[in-house]
Structure 1
Amino acid sequence: MSRSLTQDTYEALRSAILVGKFAPDTLWSDRELAAQLGFSRTPVREAIQRLAADGLVEVIPRRGTRVLPLLADDVREIHQVARALELEAAIMLATSRKRDLGPLQRLVAEMAEALEAADRDRWVRADEAFHHDLVEACGNRRLARMYHAQRGLTDRARYFALHLRDLPTKSADDHRAMLEAIERRDTARLCELYHEHWDRTTAELLALIERHGSTMPVQSTLREEKK
């Protein structure tokens, strides 16, 4: 099996779950998923195993693949883990002798431009990239692997809230302030900012889940076909 084909299938299925095309608690066979995505069943099966490890789906023997709902307890726990890992990465980056903050600076600018245009999709891609690149830049490969292993749920929560809340101007301000603290090597302020940012965003997400359940705001044609 071509690694690139498996990766393409994984990314296509992961994206479909994140944006709500495959709704929570729906059950899909390998054949149905392959038909919807336009891939053969073998890379779909391999992609499903990766998505199960990501915490996005559950494989039910002899029944199919269930898209897992976004639950409040999952969000609370995964945010605690992600914050701890990313804060450690940010501190390492702030205290590093060799660092290139140019990519992070460009992503902060990208987020600001996206908000000016009220382009939520562009903003969320820049937001994802900021968190990913910050952790990658810390230089600790094991920490980065642990962090990226949790991204399925953190990214899903990010997409879930994307069209349910106001434009994330406060989050953009937080990212800018955190990057400035890294630039100044101000680890005390960096810790304060991280706790404030993650506490606030976690509370916002939990409130949205309580209000809306795990249903994405835009109903997809795939979900309607599946009913």
Structure 2
Amino acid sequence: MRKNAEISTTTNLTGLSPSLVNTKETQSAVAYRLLKQRILDGALPAGTQVLEHEAADLLGMSRTPVREAMIRLHQDGMVDIRPRHGMRVLPISAEDMQEIYDVLTSLEGSAAATLAERGITEEQKQELEATVAAMDLALEQDDLQAWASADEVFHAKLIEFSDNKRMISMVSQLWEQSHRARMLTLRMRPRPTKSNREHQALIETISAGKVKQARQMHETHRKKASTMLVKLLKELGATQI
């Protein structure tokens, strides 16, 4: 395993709590979830190579569920499987992110328009506003990680409230692929105060039933985020993701 992979300095994968192992999840599913989360959060950055037996030792499992988890991660496009060498975490290029955000922009814009046309309940509006309040509080406390988490919840709820199962599934996959890049560039971007205000403005526009404006407003918001993220990745050479 690459020595600087930070495995021993981040969330411990050993000694799984009962809540993780005494559920209906199989060991393969637990291994997949834990390894995937570490890749998404950057604990296993691009280029990190993890041998099958090393991952098994870290997870306190046999090699079989770990092998199955690695195969699933390979199918997700997150790792490359190498015979006798386990898995290697793959990078995400600036070009990949441009394509991902192009699709996200279109899908989320459609979701915003759908909600504006159909209308949202007072409870849904309050849930969206609660995420904006959480983002504001996070910035007040200078906690960018908390801000990013609240931001993701806002976008997830926007899609969830559309009630379009296929859209929900597609956006979920795209968000997972973009999460690593967002975490890498989180502290490189300008303070996202304006982003919070744009979220609140979108809520008001949706509540007012302004369909075309809601779509345009959210697509503009997404395109700005995409331009900034892709620019930062190009400056980094996208080698650290």
TM-score range, shorter chain: 0.7 to 0.9
Find the counterpart in structure 2 of residue 134 from structure 1: 158
- TM-score, normalised to structure 1, is 0.84
Deviation at 1:63, TM superposition (A): 3.0
The alignment status of 1:17 with 2:39, answered yes or no, reads yes
Q: Structure 2 vs 1, CA of residues 134 and 98 (structure 1 numbering), >3 Å: closer, same or farther?
A: closer
The alignment status of 1:71 with 2:93, answered yes or no, reads yes
The alignment status of 1:87 with 2:109, answered yes or no, reads yes
| Contact 2:51 2:84 survives alignment (8 Å) | no
| Contact 2:31 2:65 survives alignment (8 Å) | yes
Q: Structure 2 vs 1, CA of residues 106 and 49 (structure 1 numbering), >3 Å: closer, same or farther?
A: farther
CA–CA distance in structure 2, aligned partners of residues 84 and 12 of structure 1 = 31
Find the counterpart in structure 1 of residue 188 from structure 2: 164
CA–CA distance in structure 2, aligned partners of residues 175 and 148 of structure 1 = 19
Offset from partner CA, 1:129-188 (integer Å, 9 cap, x none): 111121111111122112212222122222121122232222222222222221112122
Find the counterpart in structure 2 of residue 120 from structure 1: 144
The alignment status of 1:202 with 2:231, answered yes or no, reads no
**Letter aligned with residue 19 of structure 1:** D
Identity, % of aligned positions: 36
The alignment status of 1:111 with 2:135, answered yes or no, reads yes
**Letter aligned with residue 31 of structure 1:** H
Larger Rg: 2
Offset from partner CA, 1:91-128 (integer Å, 9 cap, x none): 22222256422221111111111111110111111111
| Contact 2:112 2:215 survives alignment (8 Å) | no
Find the counterpart in structure 2 of residue 31 from structure 1: 53
| Range moving further from structure 2, 178-187 or 54-63 | 54-63
Offset from partner CA, 1:178-202 (integer Å, 9 cap, x none): 2222111212222222222122111
Q: Structure 2 vs 1, CA of residues 53 and 183 (structure 1 numbering), >3 Å: closer, same or farther?
A: farther
**Letter aligned with residue 212 of structure 2:** A
Find the counterpart in structure 2 of residue 214 from structure 1: 238
CA–CA distance in structure 1, aligned partners of residues 97 and 240 of structure 2 = 15
SS at 1:3's partner residue? Answer: coil
Find the counterpart in structure 1 of residue 11 from structure 2: none
Q: How many residues align?
A: 217
Deviation at 1:55, TM superposition (A): 3.0
Which structure has more RCO (C-alpha within 8 Å, separation ≥ 6)?
1
SS at 1:150's partner residue? Answer: helix
SS at 1:101's partner residue? Answer: helix
Q: Structure 2 vs 1, CA of residues 20 and 187 (structure 1 numbering), >3 Å: closer, same or farther?
A: same
| Contact 2:40 2:180 survives alignment (8 Å) | yes
Task: Name structure 2 gaps, 5 residues minimum.
Answer: 1-20
| Range moving further from structure 2, 108-117 or 10-19 | 10-19
Which residue among 162, 167, 171 is the counterpart of 1:143?
167
**Letter aligned with residue 84 of structure 1:** S
| Contact 1:107 1:129 survives alignment (8 Å) | yes
CA–CA distance in structure 2, aligned partners of residues 30 and 214 of structure 1 = 26
Offset from partner CA, 1:183-225 (integer Å, 9 cap, x none): 11212222222222122111111121122233559xxxxxxxx
| Contact 1:24 1:214 survives alignment (8 Å) | no
**Letter aligned with residue 88 of structure 1:** S
- TM-score, normalised to structure 2, is 0.79
CA–CA distance in structure 2, aligned partners of residues 119 and 27 of structure 1 = 31
